């Protein structure tokens, strides 16, 4: 049993499904560079920063680029991605996510976003979710990536809640590892086989209730 006072949420794959936009943009880039990029490859990039994702993709395609070229390629990918997410709307929120956030706030708990995406602000604004978060921590707020706990620890600090009173909702293994490394509870969204280190695994926030928080 734990006393949960704050809920911290990853964005991609938990609140919205932007993986498909990342996939399209990376695929377009890979194709321009002369190799393919599959949905399976895309899965491996969940929770991984833009810079690191590009390094991995170039490695998989057997392509070597200078740091300057990599920076240009990352910008090109991001421009396509931003163009796609710019047309997102409240209908693109994953089932149950907004409802659960509202319930959490109504119960007097705090909420924070903890996402590696530097586009988090734009997505929260487009989907109308910004008012449901007491704090927003994104790729611009941290020096290290998940599985380092920095983003969630900073989130807890911004909310004034101790890590042991926080629960993190995550769809990526790196995110569950980050929550655990920070001494927090973790709820996995996805497959129990993959996210086996989580305290509870659900299919989506539509399955989550406040009562379940008491049993973590």
Which residues contribute to the site for Mg ion (CB under 5 A)? Answer: 10, 12-13, 171-172
SS (H, E, C) 186-200: EEEECCCCCCCCCCE
Minimum distance of ligand G6P from residue 87's CB (angstroms): 15
CA distances from 198 to 134, 185, 214 (A): 24, 8, 15
Q: Which of residues 103-122 bind ligand G6P (CB under 6 A)?
A: 115-119
CA 140 from chain center: how many Å? 13
Active site annotation includes 12? yes
Cβ atoms 42, 19 nearer than 8 A: yes
Q: Does 139 bind ligand G6P (CB under 6 A)?
A: yes
CA distances from 72 to 34, 45, 136, 183 (A): 17, 19, 27, 38
Work out what residue 117 binds among ligand G6P, Mg ion, none; the CB cut-off runs from 5 to 8 Å by kind.
ligand G6P
Q: How far apart (Å, rounded) are the C-alpha atoms in residues 126 and 41?
A: 27
Active site annotation includes 171? no
Q: Does 147 bind ligand G6P (CB under 6 A)?
A: no
Of the residues 5, 7, 8, 22, which one makes contact with ligand G6P according to CB under 6 A: 22
Active-site hit among 10, 41, 134, 171: 10
Q: Does 124 bind ligand G6P (CB under 6 A)?
A: no
Q: How far apart (Å, rounded) are the C-alpha atoms in residues 126 and 147?
A: 28
Minimum distance of ligand G6P from residue 6's CB (angstroms): 20
Minimum distance of ligand G6P from residue 160's CB (angstroms): 25
């Amino acid at each position: 049993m734990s006393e949960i006072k704050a809920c911290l949420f990853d964005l991609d794959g938990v609140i919205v499904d932007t993986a498909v936009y990342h996939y399209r943009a990376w695929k377009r880039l890979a194709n321009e560079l002369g190799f393919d990029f599959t949905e399976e490859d895309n899965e491996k990039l969940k929770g991984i920063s833009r810079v690191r994702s590009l390094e991995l993709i170039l490695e998989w395609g057997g392509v070597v680029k200078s740091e300057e070229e990599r920076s240009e390629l990352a910008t090109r990918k991001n421009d396509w991605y931003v163009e796609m997410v710019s047309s997102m709307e409240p209908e693109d929120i994953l089932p149950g996510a907004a409802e659960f956030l509202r319930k959490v706030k109504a119960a007097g708990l705090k909420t924070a976003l903890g996402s590696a995406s530097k586009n988090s602000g734009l997505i929260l604004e487009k989907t109308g979710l910004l008012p449901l978060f007491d704090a927003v921590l994104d790729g611009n707020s941290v020096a290290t990536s998940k599985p380092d706990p920095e983003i969630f620890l900073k989130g807890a600090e911004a909310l004034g809640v101790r890590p042991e009173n926080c629960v993190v909702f995550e769809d990526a293994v790196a995110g569950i590892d980050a929550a655990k490394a920070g001494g927090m509870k973790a709820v996995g969204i996805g497959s129990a086989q993959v996210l086996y280190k989580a305290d509870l695994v659900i299919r989506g926030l539509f399955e989550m209730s406040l009562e379940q928080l008491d049993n973590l």
